[in-house]
Amino acid sequence: MGNKLFTEILENAPANEPERQFYFIEQIKALLDVKKGEGYEAKAMVTVIGCQMSAKDGEKLQGILQEAGYSITEKEEEADVILFTTCTVRENANQKLYGRIGQLKHLYQRNKDLIIGITGCMMQEKDEVETIQRKYPYVHLIFGTHNIYKLAEYLLETMLSKEKKVELLEDSAEIVENLPSKRKYSFRAAVNISFGCNNFCTYCIVPYVRGREKSRDSQEILKECEALVADGVKEIMLLGQNVNSYGLDKKEECSFPELLAKIAKLPGLKRLRFMTPNPKDFSDELLQVMKENENICNHIHLPLQSGSTAILKRMNRHYSKESYMALVKKIREVLPDVSLTTDIIVGFPGETEEDFQDTMEVVAYSKFDSAFTFQYSKRTGTPAAKWEAVPEDVVKERFQRLLEHIRLHSEEREGRDLGKVMEVLVEEKDKESENMLTGRLSNNVLVHFEGGERLIGEIVPVRLDKSMGFYYYGSVL
């Protein structure tokens, strides 16, 4: 803290959050206003690497930056501040960040006032932070998942002191509510319901980088959802590492199905989704709430990870091949039209051909609409990192077989809604062709159809004319 001005500003800062952050936001704004008078454009860019949780963090960063007077740009060469939210769930996510910051060196050489900052999951790993500090000295700001809300405070300090700021916390002391957030889409929003994870699956780094599970206050969640609907949001996605265990860390809190039912009943909310339930505690009550509430989307993402009971045990997943299949059966009985998607890891340490065949069997039985498949990636610090790896060529070969198998079995359910008229939430102009739009069915399947831009953000009836496998061509009625 080598700067006198910042020391003075700091002395007058409120101690409580979020007031403290709003104070720093105002300070940045005042500073930018002066500079803008001299022709400074104050542009910032936020790049998201990773999952919806990381994307939501990106929206929070953007919200703070905009509130402080920055306009958001997609062009890094015109940005004065470039921030990254990062992912470390698999090694290739880390490589993606290194690639991106390597490319920024030449921009920093041209503009020494450029502030490059990195936050998110990857920054909760000491080794990665050390590597960044050693190899990329032009990164000025490093903070983690537990203190994202403090962006304004850190940014102001970096701007005034021109010194590096690195602040990493082991866990979150509190959940800070009511800070700004900038939605990517006006009609769709993600809402955190809990942070962190207590499951400790043996392959997974998330509990180490996101900390222990903390549920948000249900009243705060409801207030946020209500405000979003009032602001024109049609679809809300509830986010948690394991949504089923929502509320278990707080005595007086409601359960996840109760929370879901309360939100579904908010007047004007057209669609409600959630991510991610864990098969180990997917309750009948949750299925009933889904069945009873028309606006809860017809889609369940149910990570399988492996179909082998022995592997699942060593993954610490707390369910078996049989119990997963029984759950799929029950889901299909209660919600026959539901679309089921999953995550599968191939090549977990010790996985035999027999174990792999169990996975193939569960895939054939479950007929997933789609599946995200991953080759096991060793994460330092997790229990599985110490176990003997499956040879790379074996993993690659199994991975290819699995992809083909998934494709084959998803085909059985593809096109099942052909000819029907269904509601589509229109998301954007089609990237490929003129005059075409892209939207999504309640079951998460994409539909392309002809239409004008004014339909973006609307829910419209579309006849599904042609099945293209995992998407449709349709015509708006």
For 433, phi then psi, to 5°, come to: -130, 150
Question: Which of helix, strand or coil describes residue 316?
Answer: coil
Among 15, 23, 129, 29, CA closest to 70: 29
| Interacting residue with ligand 5AD among 149, 154, 203, 256 (CB under 6 A) | 203
* 23-52 binders of ligand SF4 (CB under 6 A): 50-51
Instruction: Say whether residue 89 binds ligand SF4 (CB under 6 A).
Output: yes
The number of residues in the chain equals 477
| Interacting residue with ligand 5AD among 89, 236, 287, 459 (CB under 6 A) | 89
Instruction: Say whether residue 374 binds ligand 5AD (CB under 6 A).
Output: yes
Query: Has 297 been labeled as part of a binding site?
Result: no
Instruction: Say whether residue 179 binds ligand SF4 (CB under 6 A).
Output: no
Strands 141-143 and 165-167: parallel
From the list 81-89, 243-251, 264-272, 363-371, the region that binds ligand SF4 by CB under 6 A is 81-89
Find how far residue 409's CA is from the centre of its chain. Answer: 27
From the list 6-14, 65-73, 82-90, 225-233, the region that binds ligand SF4 by CB under 6 A is 82-90
The partner in contact with residue 343, picked from ligand 5AD, ligand SF4, none with C-beta cut-offs of 5 to 8 angstroms by kind, is: ligand 5AD
Structure tokens at 154: 């850190």
CB of 101 to ligand 5AD, least distance (A): 23
* 53-72 binders of ligand SF4 (CB under 6 A): 53-54
**Cβ closer to ligand SF4: 88 or 359?**
88
Instruction: Say whether residue 196 binds ligand SF4 (CB under 6 A).
Output: no
Query: Residues binding ligand SF4: what is the number (CB under 6 A)?
Result: 11
Alpha carbon distance 379, 78 (integer Å): 36
Please report how many Cα atoms fall inside a 13 Å half-sphere around the Cα of residue 296, on the Cβ side.
Answer: 22
Among 400, 396, 299, 311, CA closest to 362: 311
Instruction: Say whether residue 295 binds ligand 5AD (CB under 6 A).
Output: no
Instruction: Say whether residue 305 binds ligand 5AD (CB under 6 A).
Output: yes
* 108-137 binders of ligand SF4 (CB under 6 A): 121
Q: What is the rounded radius of gyration, in angstroms, for the C-alpha atoms of the chain?
A: 23
Angle between helices 151-161 and 52-67 (to 10 degrees): 60
What are the beta bridge partners of residue 372? 343
For 309, phi then psi, to 5°, come to: -60, -40
Instruction: Say whether residue 299 binds ligand 5AD (CB under 6 A).
Output: no
The partner in contact with residue 87, picked from ligand SF4, ligand 5AD, none with C-beta cut-offs of 5 to 8 angstroms by kind, is: ligand SF4
Close Cβ partners of 293 (under 8 Å, ≥ 6 residues apart): 260, 261, 264, 265, 272
| H runs (alpha helix) in 136-217 | 151-161, 206-210
Close Cβ partners of 307 (under 8 Å, ≥ 6 residues apart): 321, 324, 355, 358, 359, 360, 361, 362, 363
Instruction: Say whether residue 377 binds ligand 5AD (CB under 6 A).
Output: yes
The partner in contact with residue 376, picked from ligand 5AD, ligand SF4, none with C-beta cut-offs of 5 to 8 angstroms by kind, is: ligand 5AD
Tokens 């979150």 found at:
172
For 456, phi then psi, to 5°, come to: -60, 130
**Cβ closer to ligand 5AD: 278 or 410?**
278
Alpha carbon distance 312, 303 (integer Å): 12
Alpha carbon distance 28, 5 (integer Å): 12
Contact 315, 290 (CB under 8 A): no
Contact 419, 459 (CB under 8 A): no
Tokens 């998803």 found at:
410
**Cβ closer to ligand 5AD: 40 or 374?**
374
| Interacting residue with ligand 5AD among 345, 395, 445, 464 (CB under 6 A) | 345
Query: Has 201 been labeled as part of a binding site?
Result: yes
CB of 47 to ligand 5AD, least distance (A): 19
The partner in contact with residue 116, picked from ligand 5AD, ligand SF4, none with C-beta cut-offs of 5 to 8 angstroms by kind, is: none
| Interacting residue with ligand 5AD among 282, 319, 376, 399 (CB under 6 A) | 376
The partner in contact with residue 202, picked from ligand SF4, ligand 5AD, none with C-beta cut-offs of 5 to 8 angstroms by kind, is: none
Query: Has 254 been labeled as part of a binding site?
Result: no
The partner in contact with residue 379, picked from ligand 5AD, ligand SF4, none with C-beta cut-offs of 5 to 8 angstroms by kind, is: ligand 5AD
Q: In the complex, which residues of this chain contact ligand 5AD (CB under 6 A)?
A: 89-90, 203-204, 303, 305, 343, 345, 374, 376-377, 379
Give the residue ranges of the annotated binding site for [4Fe-4S] cluster. 51, 87, 121, 197, 201, 204
Q: In the complex, which residues of this chain contact ligand SF4 (CB under 6 A)?
A: 50-51, 53-54, 87-89, 121, 206, 209-210
